Amino acid sequence: MPNSSSSVKTLPGFVPLHQRQRQGTPQELDGIPWLHLLSASERSRALAELRVGDALPGDYVCRVGKPITLWFGVVSGLLKMSSDDTRGVTMTFTGISPGGWFGEGTALKREPYRYNIQALRKSVVAGLPVDTFHWLLDHSLAFNRFVMNQLNERLAQFIAGHEIDRMNNPDLQVARTLAALFNTRLYPGVGELLAITQQELAYLVGLSRQRVNLALQELQRRGCIRIEYGGLRVLQLAQLRSETFNT
């Protein structure tokens, strides 16, 4: 999703995110989906290594070319995955909603990041050291299944992303992007109400805020969503995903 509009800027004067890490609260840890799949000993090791950080709007969780040290997940808030082309134009791949973990392929290969992950709003981000990630792969069948399902869902997501890029109807682009953000297998913490502003959604879709507003009004008129204070509530997820959505 090309987006030539200016993105959220990193705010000056703040301590880097990796220096703001802390232990997670019981409520935050309860929202990490794969923790509940582990045995007692596996969970104990993971909890000893897990850290969370409070990301501010514009903070980079990871950057293109940096070596991987952590496998990341979103406890709350909203992140975007993107990269910049040779012209300096930002290409947004996807948004990452609460409950979502990402970068399994990079962690498996221990290769440098090929994308940027940036906070669109104040978010709580969790990180598991990549060595612990591999230890869990070696010792937990349930964790392996979780990672395999993640990779499968992520592949389907990026195939859908290519389809969105080729759509000429902005209403349909917004509908598909919202449907992707409400993927409960990838983002089990999102619920029915997504905390997102029209400007944040515009960053993800690659359209102007004004055009996104028109699309949301149309989707609300069709009964697919309801615009609420602080976010969007999906009423007809199947309709947002449907290939027969009337354009």
Q: What are phi and psi of 181, to 5 degrees?
A: -70, -20
Residue 213, pLDDT score? 95
User: Which residues, in sequence order, are CB contacts of 20 under 8 Å at separation 6+?
Assistant: 53, 54
Q: For residue 4, what pLDDT band results from cuts at 50, 70 and 90? A: very low
Tens-place pLDDT, residues 135-162: 999 999 999 999 999 998 888 777 766 6
User: Which residues, in sequence order, are CB contacts of 14 under 8 Å at separation 6+?
Assistant: 56, 59
Residue 153, pLDDT score? 87
Give the rounded distance of the alpha carbon of 32 from its chain centre.
14
Q: For residue 131, what pLDDT band results from cuts at 50, 70 and 90? A: very high
Residue 5, pLDDT score? 40
Tens-place pLDDT, residues 68-105: 999 999 999 999 998 876 566 667 778 899 999 999 99
Spatial contact of 103 and 186, defined as CB atoms under 8 Å apart:
no
- Please name the residue that has the structure tokens 């959505």: 245
Could you confirm whether domain 2-159 is CATH 2.60.120.10? Answer: yes
Residue 201: both structure tokens together: 């959604």
Tens-place pLDDT, residues 168-217: 788 988 998 898 888 888 898 888 888 899 999 998 888 899 999 999 99
Spatial contact of 239 and 245, defined as CB atoms under 8 Å apart:
yes
Rounded Cα–Cα distance for residues 63 and 115 (Å)? 6
Tens-place pLDDT, residues 214-228: 999 999 999 999 999
The 10 Å Cβ neighbour count of residue 236 is 13
Residue 47, pLDDT score? 96
Domain range list for the chain: 2-159, 169-241
Q: For residue 9, what pLDDT band results from cuts at 50, 70 and 90? A: very low
- Report the half-sphere exposure of 217 (CA within 13 A, side-chain side): 6
Spatial contact of 119 and 58, defined as CB atoms under 8 Å apart:
yes
Residue 14, pLDDT score? 46
Nearest to 46 by CA among 56, 35, 36, 59: 35
pLDDT above 60 for 12 = no
The 10 Å Cβ neighbour count of residue 31 is 19
Length of the chain: 247
Residue 82, pLDDT score? 86
Name the strand (E) or helix (H) holding 145.
helix 141-165
Nearest to 245 by CA among 198, 179, 154: 179
Rounded Cα–Cα distance for residues 12 and 15 (Å)? 9
pLDDT above 50 for 126 = yes
CATH architecture type of domain 169-241: Orthogonal Bundle (1.10)
Residue 44, pLDDT score? 96
Q: Which pTM does this prediction carry?
A: 0.80
Residue 157, pLDDT score? 73
Mark residue 55 as left, alpha or beta (left: phi above 0; alpha: psi -120 to 50; beta: remaining).
beta
